[in-house]
Amino acid sequence: MSISDGRGSALAADSRLDTSLSDLFAMDIPVGVLDRLDERVQQGLQTWRPRTTRRSRLRPGRRAGVIGLLAAVLAIGGANGSLRALYFLAAGPFDMPWHRGAEVNLSQTVDGYRVTLDRAYADATRLALAISVVDERRRPGITQLEASSTIVTDVSGEYGGIGATSNPDGPFASVNVAWKTPPVLPLPAGPRHFHVVLPSINVRDNSTPPPDPDAVGWNPWHRYPGPWTFDFEMNVDGGTTVTPNAVATADGIKVTVSRLIAASNIVRVELKIDGKVGAGGWNPIGDVRHGGKVVPFVVGSFEPDGTIALLTDGGAGDPSGAWTVTINSVASPDGSAQPTGPWVIQFDVP
């Protein structure tokens, strides 16, 4: 389960997992499909034996519809462990709340469901939360819990973002990680107050089986209302922001780095791509090179103004000096445009 700032050793060599994540990023997936995918992927992971295969990579710029696969992976790794042990399976943006986060340890219980904001981490590009949920009543028929509907606000507005959930200690507990993007970037360094609301949690009840394996509209998940509300203050790690507007052109396509935000454990690169655009938008693949480090892009998003925001696999050290952003390919997801690169964009940061 790795969209990684530092890949977990147990998962680092699993290129098939990266490919599966890539496939899931490609589309919106209905809830019913995710439920069946969860079960099938878990069965496949339990029986899979490694074999030599070509290395594949995660493709950024796609939707983060990964909860089904993440739940299956985490359930296997954490089934006999503690909540803390499960956090150590997480990698990439999903490892940040626990591995680098400051302890928050705020809990609320609604009708026996205890939600705890365990830790939090913030830098110039994101807020990351580690959240656990426990059914203290251990209700029969429950097979999984999920606390992913996290609403975060501060003085600048409401955050966006993605997250993942798990099923570590049987059906009565799970950990959840939320990776939230501030409404205004960059997030300045220093103390900041955050307001977090979980309006509901999701509870999976398999006590009633589906009418048939391919039943349309059947869904074992249901929402359990809260809310669970948390307020806390923490120091934002900050980062360095530059607007180089550096350009590279190849095969009639111009790629511009309009903004770069370098934090201690991530680099966010914002691109503008001009040329014959495919109907499905662009899917850039590449990396950032700085200070002797090469950090690949591992996830990204399309912004409303047409900017493509790409996030790296780790930080790049002291931001001053020469930077190289390399885009090896920019493909349209619908296959309508396949221009030939690479696009190598170079600039200096004072």
Query: Of 278, 201, 265, 189, which is closest to residue 234 (Cα–Cα)?
Result: 189
The answer on 214 and 285 residing in a single domain is no
Q: Are residues 218 and 309 in the same domain?
A: no
Asked if the structure places residue 9 within a domain, the reply is no
What φ, ψ does residue 187 adopt, rounded to 5°? -80, 120
Q: What's the CA gap between 253 and 251, in Å, rounded?
A: 6
Query: Could you give the number of structural domains in the chain?
Result: 2
Q: Do 261 and 112 fall into the same domain?
A: no
Q: Over 90: is that where the pLDDT of 88 sits?
A: no
**Residue that wins the pLDDT comparison between 143 and 224:** 224
Q: What is the pLDDT, as a whole number, of residue 44? A: 41
Structure tokens at 267: 């680099």
- Say if residue 193's pLDDT is above 60: yes
Mean pLDDT on 73-79: 33
Residue 74 predicted with pLDDT over 50 = no
10 within domain boundaries: no
Nearest to 166 by CA among 191, 130, 190, 198: 130
Q: pLDDT per residue over 15-66, tens digit each?
A: 333 433 333 333 333 444 344 444 444 444 334 333 333 332 333 333 333 3
Confidence at residue 108, expressed as pLDDT on a 0 to 100 scale: 97
161 and 245, same domain (yes or no)? no
- Residue 182: the pLDDT is 93
Instruction: For 298-327, write each residue's pLDDT tens digit.
Output: 888 888 888 999 988 788 889 999 999 999
Final residue belonging to a domain, choices 186, 206, 236: 236
Comparing 12-21, 36-45, 116-125, 335-344, the range with the smallest average pLDDT is: 12-21
Which is more confident, 89 or 290? 290
173 - beta bridge partners? 134
Last residue of a domain, one of 193, 217, 236: 236
- Note whether 300 and 343 are same-domain residues: yes
Q: Would you state the pLDDT for residue 115?
A: 95
Q: How far is CA 104 from CA 92, 101, 108, 120, in A?
A: 21, 9, 13, 7
Task: Tell me if 8 is assigned to some domain.
Answer: no
Q: Is residue 40 part of a domain?
A: yes
Same domain, 41 and 128: yes
Say if residue 249's pLDDT is above 80. Answer: yes
Give the mean pLDDT of 236-252.
Answer: 94
Residue 100: inside a domain, yes or no? yes
The reply to whether 292 falls in a domain is yes
- What does the pLDDT read at residue 13? 34
Gap between the Cα atoms of 76 and 47, Å rounded: 11
Residue 220 pLDDT exceeds 70: yes
> 262 and 166: one domain?
no
Whole domain around residue 283: which residue ranges? 240-349
Which has more pLDDT, 182 or 164? 182
Identify whether 5 is part of a domain: no
Under the banding of pLDDT at 50, 70 and 90, the label for residue 335 is low
Output the CA angle 275-276-280, nearest 5 degrees: 115
Within 10 angstroms of residue 51's Cβ, the number of other Cβ atoms is 6
**Domain-ending residue, one of 190, 206, 236:** 236
Say which range, 53-62, 138-147, 152-161, has the weakest mean pLDDT.
Answer: 53-62
Q: Per-residue pLDDT averaged across 258-269, rounded?
A: 93
Mean pLDDT in residue range 3-13: 29
pLDDT band at residue 148 under the 50/70/90 scheme: confident
Whether residue 69 is found in the same domain as residue 190: yes
Tokens of 89: 């399976």
Q: Is residue 350 pLDDT above 70, yes or no?
A: yes
DSSP string for 187-243 = PPSEEEEEEEEEEEEEEEE-SS--SSTT-SS--SEEEEEEEEEEEEEEEE---EEE-
- The percentage of residues in the chain with a pLDDT greater than 90, rounded to a whole number, is 40
Q: Output phi, psi for 144, to 5 deg.
A: -165, 150
CATH number of the domain residue 54 falls in: 2.60.40.1630
- Note the pLDDT of residue 8: 30
Q: How many CB atoms lie within 10 A of CB 151?
A: 15
Residue 3 lies in a domain: no
Domain match, 216 and 288 both:
no
- Same domain, residue pair 163 and 246: no
Same domain, 216 and 284: no
325 within 8 A of 294, measured Cβ to Cβ? no
Q: Which residue has the higher pLDDT, 106 or 19?
A: 106
Residues 95 and 204 in one domain: yes
Q: 16 in helix, strand or coil?
A: helix
Averaged pLDDT of the chain? 74
Supply angle C-alpha 319, 320, 321, rounded to 5. 120
